[in-house]
Each structure stands twice: as structure tokens, then as C-alpha cells.
Amino acid sequence: MTTERADLLVVGAGPAGLAAAVTAALGGLRVTLLDAGPGLGGQYWRHPAPGAARELRSSTRRYHHDLRTYAALTDSVARLAERGALAYRPNHQVWTAAVSDGTSGGFVAHAVDRGDARAEPRARRYSGSRLLVATGAYDRQLPFEGWDLPGVFSAGGLQALLKGNGARAGSRVVIGGTGPFLLPVAVGLAQAGAEVAAVCEASSGAGWLRQARALSGVPGKLVEGAEYAAELARYRIPLRPRTAIIAARGDRRVEEVTTARLSAQGAVVPGSQRTLVADTVGVGWGFAPQLDLAVTLGCELTGSADGNEVVVVDAGQRTSVPGVSAAGEVCGVGGAVLALREGQLAAEAVLADSGREPVTGAADLERVRRLVAAHRAFATAMHTAHPLPPRWGEQVGDDATVCRCEEVTAGAVRAAVDEGAGDARQVKQLTRAGMGWCQGRMCAAGVECLVRSTRPDAPSAGAPLRMPASERLVATPVPLRALVAESDA
């Protein structure tokens, strides 16, 4: 097995990784850009697979934002690749990264190449003097009765179908959870011809009234919000504040949905239940950063306003590990504009540390820093205004499945807590919740909510939930054949 070498390894080709890779390559560094997807853009600029019909690619454009920036970045990648300054490797799932044990130092990324559908996945190794982690985030979920029925999707999954396939998952949809992301999902489904019966927002919206300063720093967000409000009105989509989906029922798939009002602490208000006919449910409780590589590399983490742990970075997006940078959602979920600019700052810092001239002028660089600060403040305000319901675990029945991979019920989690488990890690040891295919990505938040509501010494109802990151030395399922190839090498 040969090892492809570069000055900078960038893991993740979403907005942050794209901006970082292009900026670093323009500054004269040899860059390798690794991404698990088949095309550039990550989840935010998810497109139909290369080779898809032109009509499909054209029809999905309406579900995107800022395609001008995307086109500029992808054009730059193509030009830099032709010059040999940037190597783009799609369909490469990086399953671990480590400090190189070679004499040249730097880092090694171990990946599985799934680019050839006709062949077995192949093990690949890439090394770089420096490494930038831009692995993004995934949908955060909370369990409820029937959430494992066919027809129940994450909100991001519904949007991925629209962007990647031009397909709506159902005809009559109920959207629930919390956060502004619910709005583009609902509008996109309506544009695709679905009837959106309701958008159930767990928060009241009143939290935004205390965030006027953060809002004023990003006026574009206000405009965007007004546009979505107009689209909701246009498609007659009801927005129900302080309301949540608490059950989905059906014979072989979703047929109806039960919603309920929530108290200020997130408890179900007795007698407020309401049944809606629906064939599809989309649920999203914000996002959780994809921290596997950062944790494995030993990067320092800190708590965020949304309850997640995030990577600690300095003004140049450098982590606590020399030579490792991070940008985008791994530093805190804050949207595409923030991720883009963090990627740009990270690359400029790498150029400076390498003794290279900057690509961005001094005045523009200062403007980028101000933009990053403003969007980080907005992100904090957003998370504060849209918290997870602290008492959500109370309404989850004992028979409800919490860990779908290992089929662990809420009752089993509560029994583990009664036996002495004090956090999600100890619950995992007693019940296997979080030990399945997804490695806890879908159930971690739900387990934490149940631990909190079951323990007699649980934090006060108003305190924010905290979900510590788990260490996964193997970040994604890897075929044994690939591990054998690594061992032989």
C-alpha cells in the first residue's frame, strides 16, 4: 500500500473543507481533500450523484442556497486539480487519523475507498504535514413512541432526499423538533408537492426577544427568516410553537401522528394531545458535531450552548494539538456562512505557519474575522432560543425503543439507572444502548434525557443538557478486508 503525501490533509468537503482546501492550495500548499460523499459540497450543498440526469440536477437547484459560492469553489477545485495543487478524493471514508510514526512527522489519515461500486472497498492511506478536520455534523434525535416506524425520518434525511434525488418521502408530512432548520425542510417539501400538515416547534420563540444584539450582527438571517415566513404562509403551513410530536402510529408505516403542547420545562401539558393524519414524519432536534477524528487525535473539547461538546480553537482555527486545525460544525453548529469563513481562516493560519504569503488581503481578513464573530454570536443565540426540552424523557414510555440498533427500550435504560448507572456511558455498559451500527449517534441524546429524568439527583429542570463526546478509534464501520490490507502494509 502506498501513502499519498501532501502538505495539508483536509477531511470533509462541505463548506468549511472546501473553503480551506481552495485557500490553502491557492497559497501554494499541496492539498489532499478527502470526503465520504460522491461529490463536493457536503450535506449543505448535497447534489444528485455525478452522472445523474441533467433534468434532475436542474430540478434540485431550488432547494439550495448560495449556489454562486458553491460554483466558484468547485470551479477552483477543478482548476487546482488540473495544476496538481489539489487532489480531491471522493467516496473516501476516513475511519481514523493519527500522528505519523515516520521520520517526517505529520499525520496519517486511514480511509476506505468506496468509489468503485463493482469492487470491494479498498484501504487507502494519506499523510500530510498538517491536518484539518471539517467533518460536519449529523441530525440529533430524541425518541418517542413509534419513531422506528417506516415513514419516520430525520429532518436532514428528508432534505437529503430532496437535494440528492429530487424526491419527497411522502404526501402528507408533519415536521417536528426545534430550530430554524425545520423551516427549509418544510418549505422544500411543499415546493416538491407534499402537504405539510404542521411544523411543531418545541420552543416558544420568546427566547429570540432576548437576542436582539446577536440578531443585529447578521441582518441576512432576519431577511432569510422573513422569506421562510412568507413561504409558510404561501403554502398554508401552520407553525405551532411549544408543540412536539410525541407519537407516530400505523400498521406497517406511519398513518397518524400525535402532537402535544409542552410546558416551559418541556413536559407534555395534560389534555393537549392532538392527532393528525400523516404518512411521513420529519424530526430534528438540532445537530451534533462529528467529533470522532478530533477526539482520537486528542483535541481539547469544550461545552457549547446547544449541549454538545465542540473542538476548542484559537483565532486561526488551530486546535490544542500542534498541526491540527478544525473548522465548521465540529467547532460549533452555526451554519454554512460560518463554516465557510472558518475554513478560510484555518487555511490562512496554515499558510502563515508554513511561511507562505496570505491569499486573503489584510482588510478582507479582518472583515472575515468580524463575520465569524457575528455568526458565532448568532449561533449561541439560536441554541439558547431553541434548547432541548429538559424534561423530554418523562413522556417516553417504557416500551418505546431508544437504541434502535440494539433494540434497547426506555424501560431498560431506566432499569439501568435504577441499578446505579449515572450517565450514558454506564447505561451503554449495562444495556448495549449505543453499541450498534450507528455507535450511539441516534440514541445518545435520548439516553441522556432518560438518565436525567430517572435519577433522583438529576440537574434542575431548567439546566441545559450536556452530551459528552465519545471516543471511537474506528469512526465508521470498516470491512475486515481493508484492515487486513492495512496490516499487510
Grid cell of 305 as nine digits: 450552548
pLDDT, position 106? 92
Alpha-helical (H) ranges within 249-335 are 292-297
- The amino acid that residue 85 corresponds to is A
Residue 104 is predicted with a pLDDT of 62
In a 3-state reduction of DSSP, which class is residue 325?
A: strand
Q: How many residues comprise the chain? A: 489
With cell 424501560, the residue in question is 411
Q: Is 117 exposed, middle or buried (0-12, 13-18, 19+ CB in 10 A)?
A: exposed
Please state the pTM of the whole predicted model. Answer: 0.93
Query: Can you list the alpha helix ranges (DSSP code H) found in 291-361?
Result: 292-297, 336-353
Residue 4 is predicted with a pLDDT of: 86
Question: What pLDDT is recorded for position 458?
Answer: 54
Q: 441-455, pLDDT tens digit by residue? A: 899 999 988 988 887
Q: Which ranges of 235-353 does DSSP label H, i.e. alpha helix?
A: 292-297, 336-353
Q: What are phi and psi of 13, to 5 degrees?
A: -115, 35
Q: How far apart are the first and last CA of the chain?
A: 6
- The answer to whether 140 touches 288, Cβ cutoff 8 Å, is yes
**Which residues are paired to 5 by β-bridges?**
127
Kindly tell me the burial class for residue 415, based on how many C-beta atoms sit within 10 Å of its own C-beta (0-12, 13-18, 19 or more). Answer: middle
Condensed to tens digits (0 to 9), the pLDDT of residues 125-139 reads 999 999 999 999 999
Nearest-angstrom CA–CA distance, 8 and 131: 6
Rounded to whole angstroms, the Cα distance separating 67 from 75 reads 12
- The amino acid at residue 40 is L
Q: What angle do CA 209, 215, 217 make, to 5 degrees?
A: 150
Question: Which positions of the chain have pLDDT values less than 70?
Answer: 1-2, 102-104, 456-465, 488-489
Q: Please give the pLDDT value at position 235.
A: 96
The type of residue at 466 is: R
